[in-house]
Structure 1
């Protein structure tokens, strides 16, 4: 695996204090996406207002939060586009039950055509609060096809009902199950990948494996990951109002998952703060230029390189946070999935 090279955005050292800079303009597909999202939000507000006038609002904060989570999860755990238009054909997709940290856990297994070599644990994003087996269906189809590996997508427990460390504990249980399956059927190698909050979980699993707390992945593939807890970076300020993700929403997601102040600094939530990064598996870190979390991925790539870990880092110009989910009409999304699959294929073949 090559060292850090070919970045679309130059890498530089960052201080703890955010600095002002001029935000980059999203590319054309991103601008069209933002316009579509704003239009959908206007329709939803009109529809919600009509419903509230007929049924009345929840009577207390707990009921209101519960109702909000139901609506949020229903909206977010759906593919961005009809699967027949956006996914790619693979041999088989199986919904199954695997052991979780606190009991059985639903998961989906994606099997590509041809000889299957290796297994990838893919951990979905969604701020530890939403998304699931449906929202990332097409992403996993494409990674399975591009990598030639089996891909497991676990339905880990979500916050705020299940705060830290529920998500990472379920992810570790899924990785252990997948390692056993890979040893029986697919050559024994496993890798971890994820986007956003899922990238956080994948990075933690890589550190767990190095420490003997679970299987050791041969590679970690991190798409626009959250890695540093409350530590601030320049991109947090530059894009604090957000294109799709804002600094305020980042704080809200963190507050749902982290319920004890000391956990904000825990290495199983903020893996970038781990002082010892030596001996970790090779990493591919992909970020989006117009994303408040961009500099977290950049900083982690630099830290891994300083620790002697092989790293490939790419930042896609004009791309937004969560651009993978909109790969159906965003060229950068398809390119990032193809690239990730290509590197995974090499890792499993080596």
Structure 2
């Protein structure tokens, strides 16, 4: 990170009052095109135009409570699907169930998705964390992503809703993700899943949580995940990368929005020095399981995806990294209206199936047939 970008990053939690004031005074329906980048493919452009017709206000001018009530990207997907008369029957799964998981210190809301089983053996389990900058969105917003991963990975998916800022600031969401993963490993059998085949997945801020939960497992004697699916994860704190510069005004995610998320989740500039937020610059990523990494071309986070893949490989981690052209941040769950979303979902599903089907190594110190497990401090 250059000195200039570091200073810029450190300013984020402090307010950037002038920027926020300017955004608040701007009419959200001014002439900014739906695709300021001019790079969206026809399907993505049509979806962005549908989102624009829902008239969302710039969230950087809103409180967190107001932002949570805004029309979302998933609302635009539903509206566009209605325009196309697309009921998307490909999302059919076996069942879903809303549950509360008994994590400490706070029980967490979750949704358990089960695929249509092809056999009677216990199924693999994927613990999934939704996006939203650690501030907005929930398991309903990201239902399409979790459902697709369930169907295409042929695994159960436990989608977990963590506590969010500004009510609960860093590292609360990270702590919740860690204990949720540990809970899932301990309770996999009671869910009907195979405790030896548990993986992690996450989207955007949730991708960051998934990667951090894997490092937590590595460092706290919690059984490691089989693999990690990280979908355009938040991985760094440098806002002066090529993609941040090129897509500073992109939709549905842009640089002012990211600054707003950081202000609402972090406690101050010192948090941006934490390796849990600066995975690229400060985290120890050695010893992680294979990572399936997905990025969108039209996304301020695109450069961070490449930098993250490079760091993972330099630390000996197996990485499958694919960047999808012509689509934006949040595209992954838009399979009802975007062919690139279906391609990305099939890629993640196939890779996760491959890892689940591989023989599970037995640690030398562990008796066969048992998974070494220790309850982490929570």
The verdict on a shared fold, with TM-score over 0.5 as the criterion, is yes
Q: Give the Å deviation of 1:187.
A: 2.2
Residues 74 and 334 of structure 2 are in contact (CA less than 8 Å); yes or no, is this contact kept in structure 1? no
Tell me which of 17, 20, 25 is aligned to 2:39: 25
Which residue of structure 1 aligns with residue 203 of structure 2?
Answer: 195
Shift of 1:329: 0.7
How big is the shift at 1:76?
Answer: 6.7
Q: CA deviation at 1:30?
A: 1.3
- Contact 1:24–1:289 (8 Å) recurs in 2: no
Per-residue CA deviation, residues 306-330 of structure 1 (Å, 9 max, x unaligned), is 1111111100011101101322110
Q: Pairwise CA RMSD of aligned residues?
A: 2.5
Going from structure 1 to structure 2, the CA distance change for 1:163 and 1:239 (only over 3 Å counts) comes to same
Aligned to 1:154: 160
User: Structure 2: which 5+ runs fail to align?
Assistant: 6-35, 359-378
Query: 2:48: which partner in 1?
Result: 34
> Structure 1, residues 264-304: CA drift from partner, whole Å, max 9, x if none?
12112222223532211111111011111001111000111
Alpha-carbon distance between aligned partners in 2 of 1:232 and 1:99, rounded to the nearest angstrom: 41
- Give the total of aligned pairs: 313
Higher RCO (C-alpha 8 Å, min separation 6): 1
Partner of 2:193: 186
Give the gaps of 5 or more residues in structure 1.
1-13, 46-63
1:15 and 1:289 mapped to 2: Cα distance?
23
Specify which of 69, 72, 88 is matched with residue 71 of structure 1: 69
Q: Is the Cα–Cα contact under 8 Å of residues 278 and 308 in structure 1 kept in the other structure?
A: yes
Structure 1 residue aligned with 2:139: 133
Q: Distance in 1 between matches of 2:75 and 2:163?
A: 17
Question: Residues of 2 paired with 1:215 and 1:199: CA distance?
Answer: 19
Shift of 1:136: 1.4
2:295 and 2:157 map into 1 onto residues whose CA distance is 22
1:81 matched to 2:78: yes
Report the CA distance shift for 1:186/1:331 in structure 2 as closer, same or farther (over 3 A): same
Moved more, 271-280 or 282-291: 271-280
1:57 corresponds in structure 2 to none
Q: Is the 8 A contact 2:73 2:252 kept in 1?
A: no
Distance 1:218 1:231, change over 3 A: farther
- Retained in 1: the 8 A contact 2:103–2:179? yes
d(CA) in 2 for partners of 1:15 and 1:261? 16
**Mapped partners of 2:92, 2:300: distance in 1:** 34
1:293-312 equivalences under 5 Å are 293-312=301-320
The residue number in structure 1 matching 2:344 is 336
Residue 212 of structure 1 deviates from its aligned partner by 2.2
Selected match of 2:97 from 70, 94, 103: 94
The 3-state SS of whatever aligns with 1:276 is coil
User: Aligned to 1:187, what secondary structure does the other structure show?
Assistant: strand
Runs of 4+ in 1 over 6 A off after TM superposition: 14-18
SS in 2 for 1:81: helix
Structure 2 counterpart of 1:239: 247
Once the two structures are superposed, what CA deviation does each residue of 1:216-262 show, in whole Å capped at 9, x if it has no partner?
A: 11111111111112453111001111131111111111111111221
CA 1:76–1:159 in structure 2 vs 1: closer, same or farther (change >3 Å)? farther
The whole-number CA distance in structure 2 between the counterparts of 1:126 and 1:154 is: 13
| Alignment match, 2:214 | 206
- C-alpha distance 123-303 of structure 1, shift in aligned 2 (>3 A): same
Judge conservation of contact 1:128–1:253 (CA < 8 Å) in 2. Answer: yes
> Secondary structure of 1:336's partner?
helix
Distance between the aligned counterparts of 1:275 and 1:144, measured in 2?
Answer: 29
Any idea what the Cα deviations from partners look like across 1:185-215, whole Å, max 9, x if unmatched? 3222211111111111111112112222644
User: In 2, are the aligned partners of 1:175 and 1:215 still within 8 Å (CA)?
Assistant: no
